[in-house]
Amino acid sequence: MSFSKGAISFENVKLEGHSPEEIVDSNETQYLTQSIPERPDALAFAVNEGLIDRTDWSPVVAGALLLAENPQGLIPTRCECRIVFYDMREDKPEREHLKLNETIGGPLFHQIHNVVKRVTEILSDISIITTDGLKKVDYPPEAIWEIVTNAIIHRDYSIADDVQVVIYQNRIEIISPGTLPAFVNIQNILDVRYSRNPKIVRTLRRYPDAPNQDLGEGLNTAFQKMQDRRLKAPTIEILNNYVKVTIEHTPLASPEEAVIAFLKNSDRITNRQARELTGIKSENQMKEVLYRLRDQQIIYLDPLLKGNKATWMKR
């Protein structure tokens, strides 16, 4: 419970049975210390940053996560990121929709960069219906970067699970182990600052091209960039002992406005296309939108197509 609420940070737990050399002599430590202008001695840096315990020279969890060649080999829980892609839109995917399931690990700095790169590659192959027709999904890269970084940096590493990035045709769900720490809640998360893993946060900021350069502004940036792109704001949920952030490729325009904009480039639209366009899940709810547009004499139902083939046309 103390780890979960951030009262005690798992990043400070000593990894007894492991030597300081597993941290100090790693390629990652050499890369980081040589990147710092003053080029500190590797051992002195690790000790001064609290990444090695001063009493018995054991590395601590934060040190392993940041600097070990293979953090997963030192840490007793799990510390990687699993990327899953379901080629569908529905909430409950079936096994046949699973197109990709892979795990990315390594020191946190490189893990963040590699996860964002892989997610971007996957998204580049996904197309969805937009008001301009069929287009590649176009999420703000800053939103993806900030939410992934936030999930990896601020998760609870005492929980034996990985961060999950679950990609669907129309949304991305980033699921981070651990509930919100201390006094942070869904209502104030964009306004307050609290770090469950301050050593990790502080050390990552020492890197060139630090993933968390604008500390404390990550989620705010994600919300702002989604708004700038005229997409629905991210949603944040607490699911038992996990935090889930969802970003949807759903336009901010009202359903009626989205359908009208779509019909500027196409002369017809089906209920299914309209649902994909607007993010509305219910077929009957979408019918109500289309009926309102019909009553305004903006669209009409093609009399030659009935049932599942029913198609609405612009006047």
- Give bridge partners of residue 250 from the DSSP assignment: none
Q: How far apart are CA 113 and CA 207, in angstroms?
A: 12
Of residues 192 and 172, the one with the higher pLDDT is: 172
pLDDT tens per residue, range 272-300: 999 988 888 899 999 999 999 999 999 99
Locate tokens 């941290």: which residue?
23
Pair (13, 155) in one structural domain:
no
Pair (87, 194) in one structural domain:
yes
CATH number at residue 302: 1.10.10.10
Pair (29, 150) in one structural domain:
no
Q: How many CA atoms lie within 13 A of 277 on its CB side?
A: 26
Of 197, 217, 248, which residue constitutes the final position of a domain? 248
pLDDT recorded at residue 5: 55
Phi-psi region of 38 (alpha: psi -120 to 50; beta: other; left: phi over 0): alpha
Pair (68, 112) in one structural domain:
no
Pair (85, 173) in one structural domain:
yes
> Which range marks the domain in which residue 300 is found?
255-314
pLDDT recorded at residue 217: 64
Residue 2 confidence (pLDDT) above 70: no
Pair (116, 223) in one structural domain:
yes
**DSSP letter, residue 279:** -
Q: How many CA atoms lie within 13 A of 5 on its CB side?
A: 5
Read off the pTM: 0.85
Residue 215 confidence (pLDDT) above 60: no
Pair (172, 276) in one structural domain:
no
Query: Confidence class of residue 7 from pLDDT cuts 50, 70 and 90?
Result: low
Domain count within the chain: 3
Pair (207, 111) in one structural domain:
yes
Taking residue 150's Cβ as centre, other Cβ atoms within 10 Å add up to 20
Of 248, 275, 293, which residue constitutes the final position of a domain? 248
Query: Confidence class of residue 117 from pLDDT cuts 50, 70 and 90?
Result: very high
CATH number at residue 140: 3.30.565.60
